[in-house]
Amino acid sequence: MLHPAHPLVITYKWARRITITVVGFSVLCLGVAMIVLPGPAFIVIPAGLGILAIEFAWAKRWLVQVKERSTGLVQRLRKRNGRP
């Protein structure tokens, strides 16, 4: 087992963080582009935030806000259409 201060361990942590950041922002940007382009933006944007939430607290807070707002929206639409 490698010591936590070993250069390979530090390199792995940075590589993991950079990979999560690049993939997360790529998916998030793709979702934002899908707002004007055809595609499921309202599925891809939370997916990008979910990926970023693995490493970043701000993304986790945004993801919680998106979940709360979408739940409220779904409940209002169901109430309007007469569904329980």
Q: Tens digits of per-residue pLDDT, 15-61? A: 899 999 999 999 999 999 999 999 999 899 999 999 999 999 999 99
Residue 39 region by backbone torsions, left for phi larger than 0, else alpha for psi between -120 and 50, else beta = left
Torsion of CA 81, 75, 66, 63, to 10 degrees: -130
pLDDT class of 63 with cuts at 50, 70, 90: very high
Predicted structure pTM score: 0.76
Q: Specify the pLDDT at position 62.
A: 92
pLDDT class of 70 with cuts at 50, 70, 90: confident
